Amino acid sequence: MQMRKLGKDLEVSALGLGCMSMSSGYGPPADKGEMIQLIRTAHDRGVTLFDTAEAYGPFANEELLGEALQPIRDKVMIATKFGFDIDLETGKRGSGTNSRPGHIKAVADACLKRLRTDHIDLFYQHRVDPDVPIEEVAGAVKELISEGKIKHFGLSEAGDLTIRRAHAVQPITALQSEYSLFWRGPEAELLPTLEELGIGFVPFSPLGAGFLTGKIDENTKFDPTDFRNMVPRFSPEARKANMALVDLVKAVAERKGATPAQVALAWLLAQKPWIVPIPGTTKLHRLEENLGAVNVELTENDLKQIDEASSRLKLEGARLPEAALKMTGR
């Protein structure tokens, strides 16, 4: 497995593993024993960055990851997130965000217990809290870093100005936001800012929440609890209209002797050397397929052709429901 650097000194595998889907988001939770084995197999294959959050479950995903990684804790980097209004005793979710400094510190202690560790390698603010100045958030994390509980600070779905203000208080190691051939919004402002400040980028949904794998079409039925049922871009009409992008990726994949998923991930890896995608899966064969992307080399000509062809496409549908979109880019 190739290695990459986030920020100044967080070295991780070029592809991480997003663990959310094992517990929530894409339907019922997967079998715990099978997921523990999958996580450990990912490490055996070279993955060193594992991504979770208190909100996934809530709590269930951190507990799963803590148990799976306990025997190899010193060989991996764990990223988790704070920032939603979640009762630390019951797991009941409130209606919004909560990044008050006292709450951040309480969440950190609770995360440490669930993850069975004495430190968190990368601690992200899950969504920007409009009621708490980002300087106070960064200051709270800075204190946790000085105590040794946290190693690196990250933001998720934050905007340019917020990143700059936070970075001035406590250097940010990584930003996590959606980025893929299915959603290229970060290219306009985020990527130049991250490059300027020396901040790494960790794209979630690098396969377009599965759409870029070529296994989804307008007739696909999702589990009733799958979040994609609420996403405008995943309406049957939008899926049908957006299949032109999948056809483009499939054509490149056939030419390269790869799968569409591998091409989509290879495209991301080719954008910047400080980009580390975190595709998620609950299936071993998909894990193997995704990790194979590091061996798919897209030439300058390949990338140019992809850009030119994709720029002519007009993708239909918003990437998130309206309420969720309002919590991004702040």
DSSP conformation letters of 73-102: GGG-EEEEEE-EEE-TTT--EEEEE---HH
Partners of residue 155 on adjacent β-strands: 125, 175
Q: What amino acid positions are annotated as catalytic residues?
A: 56
The pLDDT confidence band at residue 95, using thresholds 50, 70 and 90, is confident
DSSP 244: H
pLDDT for 321? 96
> Quick check: 113 and 82 in contact, CB under 8 A?
no
Whether the full predicted model's pTM is greater than 0.85, yes or no, is: yes
Q: With 90 as the cut, is the pLDDT of residue 102 above it?
A: yes
pLDDT digits (tens, 9 = 90+) for 165-212: 999 999 999 999 999 999 999 999 999 999 999 999 999 999 999 999
pLDDT digits (tens, 9 = 90+) for 223-280: 999 999 999 999 999 999 999 999 999 999 999 999 999 999 999 999 999 999 999 9
Phi, psi angle pair for 88, to nearest 5°: -70, -15
**What fold characterizes domain 3-325?**
TIM Barrel (3.20.20)
pLDDT for 324? 96
Instruction: Supply the mean pLDDT for the chain.
Output: 98
Residue ranges of domains in the chain: 3-325
Partners of residue 80 on adjacent β-strands: 123
